Amino acid sequence: MADSINILKIFIGAKSVGRMVISSDRLCVFEYDPEFVSTGFSISPFYLPLRPGTFTARREPFEGLFGVFNDSLPDGWGNLLIDRYLASQGIQSQSLSVIDRLSIVGSSGMGAIQYKPDKHIRTKHDIDDLNILATEIEKVLSEVDYTGSLDILAEKGGSSGGARPKVFVTIKGKPWLVKFPSSYDQSDIGRIEYNYSVIAKKCGIEMPETALLEGKYFGVQRFDRDGKKRIHMHTASGLLYASHQFPSLDYIDLIKATLALTKDIGEAYKMFRLMVFNILTGNKDDHAKNFSFIYNSGKWKLSPAYDLTPNSGFNGNHSSTVAGKGNPSLEDIYEVAGQCGLKSKITKRIFEEIYDNCVEIRVGNWP
């Protein structure tokens, strides 16, 4: 792991997708494999069309990395685990390039993309007990020099996105992601997120299977896996080169991008439905990484919803604006529909369905 990588090879299953290097000015350069150009698909249609030749990444917002590969990198919790584990091995994380970090993700990341050399963290030991894992996570969050089960936690959660602690586990033969409270969460955040997931399904939101494990940990079955098959996924952040660190998108952008990518008006209405749910239930943490698309059986579609919880967002505003508004009115909701060419009869019915079915968690005063 200490040796720096010059060429990163990218795969989906056994198929070589292409390779990537870093240029002298610290920008990533990618080229599709010629055979993949003939038989594959664009892994990021707006910025990496399927064609021969090299592509050079923009410097912002992903520090010279392509959006689709930035999707593979961990966020707050995963980075904390990886950096502490590397430090325990005498490796300075600051010395690693982005392709070094993608190599550490290797075959352990979300979605279908895998990286070689594959240097993802492996351990001969394992912990399946969620209560024990929760205890170990609490130690990591509270003890700066903790090294107890870092290898196990890094293997189970080092490739995860988001800020909250989480691990990937197998439950009854199925791959699941299980979340634990962070230092900033209320203690019953697992029950709250589970309740939101149940109500979201009632509101017609497509959701993976969810569960409240041990009566307190929120678990969700992974939608980027179908048996042994890995499914390609792409966040709106990576697809549109939109940072999730600050407000960078409007729901108008999200709905129009959904239609442009999927070529399916039904998928655009699904994004509108998710917008209405987020507004009515106070989920203001609706940033660019909390929307994803999946490519399966030759088609792009909106992924099942995830990370649905009450949240104060960005300075009390929705992280994705609604027709330019951070705290939208009903008129703003329908303004989005109008600008996206959605039929008023359908969008009104969607609003009413969600309004009626989310009464337990609905926030604000609505006419």
Q: Is there a domain that residue 276 lies in? A: yes
Q: Is residue 89 part of a domain?
A: no
pLDDT digits (tens, 9 = 90+) for 290-313: 999 999 999 999 999 999 999 998
Angle of CA points 240, 58, 314, to nearest 5° = 50
Has residue 140 been placed in a domain?
no
CB distance 210 to 364 below 8 Å: no
The H or E element that residue 204 is part of is none
User: What is the phi/psi pair of residue 217, to 5°?
Assistant: -105, 130
In the chain, the number of structural domains is 1
Give the pair of three-digit tokens for residue 98: 């982005």
Q: How far apart are CA 149 and CA 156, in angstroms?
A: 11
Residue 242 lies in a domain: yes
Evaluate whether residue 283 is within a structural domain.
yes
Domain-located, residue 271 = yes
Chain centroid to CA 323 = 24
The 10s digit of each residue's pLDDT in 113-130 is 999 999 988 887 777 789
Domain annotation covers residue 172: no
Answer yes or no: is 285 within a domain.
yes
Reading the chain (367 residues) residue by residue, the pLDDT tens digits are 456 788 999 999 999 999 999 999 999 999 999 999 999 999 999 999 999 999 999 999 999 999 999 999 998 888 888 888 888 888 887 889 999 999 999 999 999 999 999 998 888 777 778 998 888 888 888 876 666 777 888 888 766 767 789 999 999 999 999 999 887 788 899 999 999 999 999 999 999 999 999 999 999 999 999 988 999 999 999 999 999 888 899 999 999 999 999 999 999 999 999 999 999 999 999 999 999 999 999 999 999 999 999 999 889 999 999 999 999 999 999 999 999 999 999 999 999 999 999 999 999 888 7
Q: Which residues lie below 8 Å from residue 299, measured CB to CB, with a gap of 6+?
A: 262
Structural domain containing residue 301: 231-354
Residue type, 367: P
